[in-house]
Amino acid sequence: MSILVYTESEQGKFKKHALEAASYAYAVAQQLGTTVTAISFNNEENDVLGTYGVSKVLQVSDDNLKTFNAKAYAQAVSQAASKEDARVIVLSSSTDSKYMAGLLAGMLKASYAPNVVAAPESTDPLVVKRTAFSNKGFALTKLEADTSIIGVSNNAFGLKENPTDATVEAFTPELKDGAFGVKSVEVDKVVGKATIADAEIVVSAGRGMKGPENWGMIEELADVLGAATACSKPVSDLGWRPHGEHVGQTGKPVASNLYIAIGISGAIQHLAGVSASKTKVVINNDPEAPFFKAADYGIVGDAFEVVPKLIEKLKEFKAQNA
């Protein structure tokens, strides 16, 4: 048996969180005294996987699988799991991985723990630590079925290099009827810009910005930092920003290295969704704003004065450290 990791790619390159999942799979393999097999789709960069501890790559090359299709991919991963006799399957917390994980759990009658933040606490029984109650707590979850699926939380375990010689094997899954029952018609995606899911830094702004016309400085700040932009719920409800930017308990989760909250009060629902970020900075003119209790660094001040100054200082810093 081996540990199977699904390594997601985008435009022929492995996503950072796929490599994080591979790093995690290696840690589990070490605990269980086995090796890691990866399944990749239409990706040739197998050496990269070796760097993160993968010993064998099952490489699927199929034009029908160029665009992600949850059911077809789940069938392929489930067949790879049987072929490799994998009892543990590791994947990331990307939107697509989470989409596939539920299907996979149903197909394999497997135990599934999402949002896992650390290497297993024990392997017999298999117990993992994951976030629950929208980051207001952690659960230690025992995975009891014959096959277990572990969804690794973004940015929690980290990238760990374990250079390994990876052998590559072509793998042709047998896709069943109905695999393409859901067809992609059109993908509308910003390219070349950091996304909330992948970004190391997220710059987020709230109702304190007064109106959509004032987002120029937020975008500029994000640009200087190479960050993704996000917003509080009312800002997207008011149509100031697109829904895709809404973060929090009912929006997207954020688990970046740095989260900068500007003109956001720090309501419990907002904090729940962003608290997994490692360092949090708040800029707010109200010293009583609840966000100050949840932040690492804060500036009490008017965003319209502080943000332009911050942009200027960051540009100076970038120039010195370039």
Partner 1 sequence: MKILVCISNVPDTTSKINFTEGDTKFDTSGIQFVINPNDEFGLTRAMWFKEKQGATVHVASVGEASTEPTIRKALAIGADEAIRVDATPTDGFFVARQLADIVKKGEYDLVIAGRESIDYNGGMVPGIMAALLDMNFVNTCINLEVDGNNATAIREIDGGKEKVSTSLPLIIGGQKGLVEESDLRIPNMRGIMMARQKKLNVVDPVDATAATEEVRFEKPAPKGEVKLVDADNVGELVELLHNEAKVI
Ligand X SMILES: Cc1cc2nc3c(=O)[nH]c(=O)nc-3n(C[C@H](O)[C@H](O)[C@H](O)COP(=O)(O)OP(=O)(O)OC[C@H]3O[C@@H](n4cnc5c(N)ncnc54)[C@H](O)[C@@H]3O)c2cc1C
Binding flag, residue 201, partner 1 (CB under 8 A)? yes
Q: Which stretch binds ligand X (CB under 6 A): 12-20, 26-34, 160-168, 265-273?
A: 265-273
Binding flag, residue 135, partner 1 (CB under 8 A)? yes
- The 8 Å CB, 24+ separation contacts for 177-183 are 178/71, 179/69, 179/71, 179/72, 179/75, 180/64, 180/69, 180/71, 180/72, 181/71, 182/69, 182/70, 182/71
- Of 84, 81, 85, 83, which is closest to residue 104 (Cα–Cα)? 81
Binding flag, residue 234, ligand X (CB under 6 A)? yes
Binding flag, residue 301, partner 1 (CB under 8 A)? yes
Between 50 and 248, CB nearer to ligand X: 248
- Of 281, 283, 276, 278, which is closest to residue 296 (Cα–Cα)? 281
- Structure tokens that stand for 235 in this block: 């800002």
Q: Which stretch binds partner 1 (CB under 8 A): 81-89, 164-172, 203-211, 288-296?
A: 288-296
Between 122 and 172, CB nearer to partner 1: 122
The phi and psi torsions of 261 (rounded to 5 degrees) equal -105, 120
- Structure tokens that stand for 103 in this block: 């299907």
Query: Number of residues in contact with partner 1, rule: CB under 8 A?
Result: 97
Q: Which stretch binds partner 1 (CB under 8 A): 33-41, 48-56, 134-142, 167-175?
A: 134-142
- The 8 Å CB, 24+ separation contacts for 250-253 are 252/196, 252/197, 253/134, 253/135
The amino acid at residue 47 is D
- Residue 85's binding partner out of ligand X, partner 1, none, with CB under 5 to 8 Å set by partner kind: none
Binding flag, residue 178, partner 1 (CB under 8 A)? yes
Q: Longest Cα pair distance anywhere in the chain, in angstroms? A: 60
Q: Which stretch binds partner 1 (CB under 8 A): 18-26, 66-74, 82-90, 156-164?
A: 66-74
Between 169 and 305, CB nearer to partner 1: 305
Binding flag, residue 115, partner 1 (CB under 8 A)? yes
- Residue 286's binding partner out of ligand X, partner 1, none, with CB under 5 to 8 Å set by partner kind: ligand X
Rounded to a whole number of angstroms, the minimum distance from the CB of residue 216 to ligand X is: 15
Binding flag, residue 247, partner 1 (CB under 8 A)? no
- Of 97, 315, 286, 304, which is closest to residue 226 (Cα–Cα)? 315
> Contact 72/90 with Cβ under 8 angstroms?
no
Interacting residues with ligand X (CB under 6 A): 206-208, 232-235, 248-251, 263-265, 267, 269-270, 273, 284-286, 289, 302-304
